[in-house]
Amino acid sequence: MLVHVLYAAHPPQCSFELTLEQLTRRDTRFGALPALQRRGVLEQVVQDSADLQQAHLRLKMGPQVWHGTPGALDEDGSGRVSAGHGWSEQELEFALGLNLVEAERHAVSVSELTGVLQAWPHGTVYVFGAGSGAGEDTLQRRFNLTSFTDRLELEFLAQSGFAELGVLRAHRIGGEGRPHILRAGNSAAHGGPV
């Protein structure tokens, strides 16, 4: 399968053409490209990878093209809800292709997570809580750590100890392109396995 990849670090000053193997070294999820296509989630993975790498991405296979732009899913205060709002953790894993690759996963306390996030220059934080119905927690909010307003709002929530929130998940691309996931539950009911 012939794949053309255009990679431009943000803010774009130059761009590079990468092979699929080179892109996979930057984000291992692209090693499962056929599975991502079969699931119909390649668009979400390209966008998520663009946010986590802070790079504009364009994948082209034949006539099909997928774009990812850092910050494209950020909430803008207009009432637009987070992408994936209402998803369970399992649905998020599926949509981002995280269950197709070996990811580095750690369960941490809320205070540990707050401390770690201060050192991350970029990444994404997902907040899960009780939705309108009973049952498992669902995605309520997505924060992009490169967004000043998202980081500020996250700091305000951290000052309250993330009260009223169930599960926090922080994602970034770690060493060797592997997804790095930190998960904190706000109570014994939410701690669970990563």
- What are the residue ranges spanned by the domains of the chain? 4-68, 102-191
pLDDT digits (tens, 9 = 90+) for 119-157: 999 899 999 987 655 567 889 889 999 989 889 988 888
- Cβ atoms of 124 and 51 within 8 Å: the answer is yes
pLDDT digits (tens, 9 = 90+) for 14-36: 788 999 999 999 999 999 999 99
Name the strands in the sheet holding 16-18, side by side, starting at the edge strand that comes first in the sequence: 16-18, 4-9, 55-61, 64-68
**Residue with tokens 């669902």, as numbered in its chain:** 138
- Cβ atoms of 173 and 53 within 8 Å: the answer is yes
Q: Which residues partner with 190 through β-bridges?
A: none
